Amino acid sequence: MKKEEFEKFLHNKIPITKAMKVNVEEFNNFKVRLSAKLEPNINDKGTAFGGSISSLMTLCGWSMAFMLMMETDPQAQVVIQKSNINYLVPITGDFFAECVLGDGEVNEQFLDMYRERKKGRLKLKVRCYSGDTLSAEYEGIYVALR
């Protein structure tokens, strides 16, 4: 699936992404990068709303797990099981979240577990930036189910 197709998929299947004006910047087997404008995600202090940051980061990790499962089993259901976010600095402009796959062995273990048991768990890290500034760090555990 190309990034343009995936963005349409997100806007149709997960309506909050359209309201947040989420854009898919990169969507491949190694990296997912999603961006959002400040304006629809602003809080009363003029910074990005924590819920929007959390949503974008959760969605970014979910998108990576979804990408991995597309080739193995397009019918698999990917869900978030657990997450943790550290907000480092207020975001005062447009922002983006990115998830870069690291250890290929861990990813293969996830896919092997899914193939064997029809259920797999994957821990992913996502970082959120505003410009060049690291603004938040996230770790999530995603589960793929048959």
Per residue in 93-133, pLDDT (tens digit) is 999 999 998 766 778 888 899 999 999 999 999 999 999 99
Nearest to 146 by CA among 73, 65, 81, 61: 73
pLDDT, residue 108, reads 85
> What global pTM score does this model have?
0.94
CATH code for position 63:
3.10.129.10
**Strand locations in 23-76 (E):** 23-27, 31-36
* Residue 82 structural domain: 3-145
Q: For the chain, how many structural domains are there in total?
A: 1
> What does the pLDDT look like over 135-146, one tens digit per residue?
999 999 999 998
Indicate the pLDDT class of residue 29, thresholds 50, 70 and 90: confident
